[in-house]
Amino acid sequence: MRTQHTYTIQSPNFKTQLLQWSQQFEEVVWLDSNKHFQKHGSYDAVLAVDAFTGITTDSHQAFDKLHEYQSVTKDWIFGYLTYDLKNDLEDLHSNHFDGLNFPELFFFQPKKIFLIKEDVIEMHYLKMVDDEFESDLKEIEQWTKNKVDLVSEKINIKLRLTKDQYSEKVNKMLAHIHRGDIYEANFCQEFYAEDTQIDPLETYQKLNSISKAPFATFFKNQHYYALSASPERYLQKEGTMVISQPIKGTAQRSTDPIEDEHLKEELKSNQKERSENIMIVDLVRNDLSQTAIKGSVEVEELCEVYSFEQVHQLISTITSVVGEKTPPVTIIRSTFPMGSMTGAPKISAMKIIEDLEETKRGLYSGAIGYFSPTGDFDFNVVIRSILYNAQNNYVSYSVGGAITAKSDPLKEYEECLIKAKAMREVLEN
């Protein structure tokens, strides 16, 4: 079905040229680790372009349709799951305003795939396009971007919630926590711009140069774009091992090395931040146990500090072992949406989130990634991401944080602004 060609990268700009070359296609998924060391890393970067087949659906029976598509295709498929697929799993609804209008699920079987590890690239081409690989390589190596100097318009970013409205809603969430309805919930707010055009690739490259995140993504499906600087893995499957790496706990960074180290140590010992993380670890353990071989769920790392360009984060790593015949989509179905973006207990948290948030999350706090022909998969969490609908000229980014009994609305709001900083800088130049 596919032929494979291996090539040693000669040019130091190959990755940049490859991504620029990909823009001629209607469907593009670019996944970049930015050379972060990952305990469970697979590739340094991956590119998939040009759909041969695909699936687009709303939330109704979405996971059944994805399972059928993945089972029948038995090939690489790339795409995304939006947060609102929760409505397929539980008696939940999403009735908020949606300025982006992304389909709720989209996957495609690419004609051309590039897998990069260090200086070696594997090209996996469907046989129908196999005779193009040499000319493609030559084109990529010689690619020079035709720079069109557009006058960048001033982007007017609006807040969906004022600071006071945000505090009022967090206090309502705290009332739910004090009543015992939930222990923790992730509350998010949207920042947006209407009647605005951006250059998606240039915007992504600026965001990536600032953030250098381990799960960075450039996604394009016709006029829908996701430009992501995500630091978080949602779920990975390698053989029979399943890996989840939720992030909960954030501290800002300092340019002063001594102060930065102090902020790092402070985060590691902060009881509120640790409790946020540990609650989600318990939730993930419970989710993974639904498909795991009995006794195989383990916490590999608990509240480890990872440092990124903008922030320090607490990350935990939870693993499980599944049976060889367990369908990949079943594993995702039993853990979706990810605990770090919902709360505990999960269903109660999602109901309260829906009641208090102002906009439909859509692809934000969903996942982008791929399934391999053998049923392995790897998906990020769509956070620290700019979403763009080029047809209706709507730009959006959302940020959120975990609300627990110890949360202070003002501090939570400040944490949101820290997380939003890179996206705002990029859009406002």
In the numeric block, which tokens belong to residue 329?
């989509």
90 is annotated as an active-site residue: no
3-state secondary structure of 328: helix
Does 428 participate in catalysis according to the annotation?
A: no
**Rounded Cα distance, 14 and 427, in Å:** 26
- Tally of CB atoms within 10 A around 59: 19
CA angle 307–405–83, rounded 5-degree value: 60
Round to whole Å and give the CA distance between 250 and 280.
14
Taking CA atoms, 235 is separated from 13, 271, 318, 424, in Å, by 30, 26, 10, 28
Measured CA to CA, the distance from residue 351 to residue 355 in angstroms comes to 6
Q: Which of 206, 212, 248, 419 is catalytic?
A: 248
104, 184, 190, 232: the active-site residue: 232
Residue type, 53: T
Rounded CA gap, 160 and 376, in Å?
38
Q: Report the C-alpha gap between 234 and 28 in whole angstroms.
A: 20
- SS3 of residue 367 by DSSP: strand
Hey, which residues are catalytic here? 232, 248
